[in-house]
Amino acid sequence: MDADKVFKALGDATRRKLLDLLCERNGQTLGQLCENLDMARQSATQHLGILEEASLVSTVRRGREKLHFINPVPLHDVYERWVRKFERERLSLLHDLKKELEGE
């Protein structure tokens, strides 16, 4: 995983919206995605290209259509490396606070 590409891709609100749209209904065409965006197809294509480069979106051709699918693996990798370790500490602190407040 190239974390820089993933963070760059996630750093834009339009790309996050595209991921949200694919999360709601995976396997959409560019036209279907554009129905929910206020931008030209060319701009949406550029955003999807950045998501593909970061491996957050994959595509499959079905005849003349190109279907876009969310790939959760890079997001999981980011979670494991950057979020989970902080979550563990926070949960441990909350557990200790609970025990202290309850007088254990």
Helices marked H in the chain: 3-10, 13-24, 30-34, 41-53, 73-78, 84-101
Tokens 């595209």 locate to 18
CA 72 – CA 96 distance, rounded (Å): 33
What local confidence, expressed as pLDDT, does residue 104 receive? Answer: 65
Provide the residue range defining the domain that includes 88. 3-101
**Of 50 and 96, which is predicted with more confidence?**
50
Q: How far is CA 31 from the centre of its chain?
A: 20
Q: State the burial class of residue 103 (Cβ atoms within 10 Å of its Cβ: 0-12, 13-18, 19+).
A: exposed
Q: Is pLDDT above 80 for 83?
A: no
Q: For 14-42, how does the pLDDT look when each residue is reduced to its tens digit (9 = 90+)?
A: 999 999 999 999 999 999 999 999 999 99
87-100 per-position pLDDT tens digit: 777 777 778 888 88
| Section 75-103 average pLDDT | 82
Take residue 49 and report the two structure tokens written for it. 């290209």
Q: What percent of the chain has pLDDT over 90?
A: 71
CATH number for the domain harbouring residue 28: 1.10.10.10
- Give the angle 23-29-35 at the CA atoms, nearest 5°: 80
The total number of structural domains in the chain stands at 1
